[in-house]
Structure 1
Amino acid sequence: MFPPPGTVDDRAAGALLGAACGDALGVPYEFGPPLPEKRIPEMIGGGLGPYAPGEYSDDTQMAVCIAETLRDHDAPLSAAALNRAADAFLTWRSEGATDIGNQTARVLGAAGAARGGERVAEVMEGAAAEMFASGTPSAGNGSLMRTGPLALAYLHDPAGLAEAADRYSRLTHGDPLAGQACVLWCEGVRRAVVHGDLSGVRAGLDLLPGDARAAWSAWLDEAEARPPHAFGDNGFVVRALQAAWSAVVREPHGFTPSLHAAVRAGHDTDTVAAIAGALLGARWGVGAIPEGYVSAVHGWPGYRAEGLAELALSIVRRHGRTAGGA
């Protein structure tokens, strides 16, 4: 059973389920060219896995690692929680990863020997920071795709959410741009769940360092003025966010048209659609997601739609009603 449509719980569950559906919808078209405007994407599987129809990829798999951490820990920024998330990433890498980005793979490989130890998150974050400091490009979209569940643990604490989004991004992505993108999108998800609107991404500019706000404001302006396929280098976190934001704001008619627009952007289709799907699900709720998507979506480590919704709601129950109710 899913929560009643139009409720905070409906939108909270929609944040994780929407991301998973976007991921699975984008899987068949990954690293392909933009799709024609009238092409309707389908959950037909295939892709890089190859994946079964409706199976989600690394985007949701890593989001699940974070979501389970939030479900099981009262303090998301505690050493215990960060170590749990880092260990979950390493477990996923060895046991469940159907795909993994180059940047994330390199960082997890460097931290592998620390698995199960008291400093695993510290070691992982250090490897990411060292990679960035060396001049290696470190602003991929691999942290933005997974951090949406953090919003559910901070529904009434935007400042705390911004800190958590940046910190969980830095586990694998040392470039500040990656963390800033996570701050913006997580605030978008948070406000969508609480208020049922799309004001949060713009509002998130105030949560960024002062010297970063002008650039991100201009990037959002550009996304609002151009179609998703204009941001073709969407493995780069700025372009991924722009492609997703373009799909969300330029298709104002609900969950499905915007999600289709995200997939049509081409290239890293599963990730752009997972990013867009988290915000769209948070805005419109589970009740707006097509039944065909809901019945088909599934993936590591064994979740289907009902399980993903329950995982999201377990985070809200543990964290989200503690400051002002929901």
Structure 2
Amino acid sequence: MTLNEQQLDRAIGSVLASAAGDALGSQYEFGPSLSDTQKITFGIGFFGHGLGEWTDDTSMAMPILFALADARNLLDPETLADIAAQWRNWSETAQDVGTQTRAVLQQLNQPFTEADARAAAAEVHERSGRSGGNGSLMRTGPVSLGFLKDGTEAQLVEAAGRIAQLTHWEQDNVDACALWNLAIRHAIRTGELDVTAGLEWIACERRDRWRELIAEASTPGTHPRDFAEGNGWVVRAFQAALSAIMNSNDLVETLEAAVRGGKDTDTVAAIAGQLAGAIYGASQVPAQWSELLHGYPDLRATDLERLVRQAAEQDQCAG
């Protein structure tokens, strides 16, 4: 698909705004919900990330974006194994790695395959009885960039689910990543917000539940703080991010609302930024924010834009 100027701006926005939300929320992580009058600023992160530095949320998205920029197929087992291998290398020196993610990556000795990673994720899930953390959703945004052509929804859903299950086995992760990526794809293509459009790709027995969860988060007047309790769970993080978007009028307001929600602020803001950026575009990210943005692996906002442009130039779609 050849993107026009507005679509390309929205594609870049889906990555840039996510990184901005991540870095903006970093210093407020694990903190309480904040009032709507509380000024939100960049600061030193809870885990020591620098001013404007993104955290694990964006760092884990980078190998996915690299693969797309290199015209690699996200349905290829070798590509997925390489993404997981990059996560494994990153985790050895990262300032913060999610509990579920670390538990899986520590079991993997290189070289390993996609099947090895999935088996490790399944084993950790069986051992703990759960694996529904938000670590899959926080990194999922770039997946949509590989499936913007007409008729690629099924491939997108498969890729999002397989990448989620490299570390997070639970079905909620698969569904949340599919729905969020389909919404990002739709927003990049049309400029419109429609999370319910992806419900047809969710299995019938789970569809009504997700429709209710989306409706709850979309209710006028809701706020991410209404979903703060347990927003380390992928479902609550999904709802918190959606409520930030649905009840805000622009990109900056969306990200600030996501941070004001409290608890897992960087992750909720990163997730919200993926979709809000796809709606409003990179042109709505304040220049002073972009100037501050940086992070693993030694990238800045200009590098994110370059990588998205490269991905957009490629024929990404499988099949």
The interval holding the TM-score normalised by the smaller chain is over 0.9
Aligned-pair CA distance for 1:148 = 0.6
SS, match of residue 43 in structure 1:
coil
Aligned residues: 312
Q: What is the aligned partner in structure 2 of residue 224 from structure 1?
A: 218
Is the Cα contact below 8 Å between 1:107 and 1:128 reproduced in 2?
yes
Q: What is the aligned partner in structure 1 of residue 24 from structure 2?
A: 25
Q: Which moved more, 1:216-225 or 1:119-128?
A: 119-128
Q: Which runs of 5+ in 2 are unaligned?
A: none
Task: Measure the CA separation in 2 of the matches of 1:247 and 1:287.
Answer: 19
Q: State the one-letter code of the partner of 1:133.
A: E
Say if 2:286 is the partner of 1:290: yes
Q: Which runs of 5+ in 1 are unaligned?
A: none
Match of 1:67 among 60, 65, 68: 65
SS, match of residue 103 in structure 2:
helix
Task: Measure the CA separation in 1 of the matches of 2:14 and 2:315.
Answer: 16
Q: What is the aligned partner in structure 2 of residue 234 from structure 1?
A: 231
Q: What is the aligned partner in structure 1 of residue 85 from structure 2?
A: 87
Task: Measure the CA separation in 2 of the matches of 1:154 and 1:189.
Answer: 11
Alpha carbons of structure 1 residues 91 and 310: separation in structure 2 relative to 1, 3 Å:
same
Match of 2:303 among 290, 304, 307: 307
Cα deviation code 1:41-96 (max 9, x no counterpart): 11122322x1111000000000002111222243211122111111111111124x
Give the alignment of 1:194-233 within 5 angstroms: 194-199=189-194, 201-225=195-219, 226-232=222-228, 233=230
SS, match of residue 116 in structure 2:
helix
Cα deviation code 1:120-154 (max 9, x no counterpart): 32211111112223343200000000011010000
Q: What is the aligned partner in structure 2 of residue 77 from structure 1?
A: 75
Aligned-pair CA distance for 1:315 = 1.4
Q: State the one-letter code of the partner of 2:306.
A: E
Aligned-pair CA distance for 1:5 = 10
Q: What is the aligned partner in structure 2 of residue 169 from structure 1?
A: 164
Is the Cα contact below 8 Å between 1:73 and 1:81 reproduced in 2?
no
SS, match of residue 55 in structure 1:
coil
Is the Cα contact below 8 Å between 1:5 and 1:285 reproduced in 2?
no
Q: What is the aligned partner in structure 1 of residue 241 from structure 2?
A: 244
Is the Cα contact below 8 Å between 1:6 and 1:284 reproduced in 2?
no
SS, match of residue 315 in structure 2:
helix
Alpha carbons of structure 1 residues 162 and 100: separation in structure 2 relative to 1, 3 Å:
same
Is the Cα contact below 8 Å between 1:24 and 1:45 reproduced in 2?
no
Aligned-pair CA distance for 1:6 = 6.0
Q: What is the aligned partner in structure 1 of residue 177 from structure 2?
A: 182
Is the Cα contact below 8 Å between 2:61 and 2:142 reproduced in 1?
yes
Say if 2:143 is the partner of 1:150: yes
RMSD: 1.7
Q: What is the aligned partner in structure 2 of residue 58 from structure 1?
A: 56
Cα deviation code 1:96-121 (max 9, x no counterpart): x221110100000111x1x2x2x432
* TM-score calculated relative to the size of structure 2: 0.94
Q: What is the aligned partner in structure 1 of residue 132 from structure 2?
A: 139
Match of 1:127 among 111, 120, 131: 120
Task: Measure the CA separation in 1 of the matches of 2:95 and 2:68.
Answer: 23
Q: What is the aligned partner in structure 2 of residue 99 from structure 1?
A: 96
Task: Measure the CA separation in 2 of the matches of 1:313 and 1:183.
Answer: 23
SS, match of residue 61 in structure 2:
helix
Aligned-pair CA distance for 1:319 = 3.1
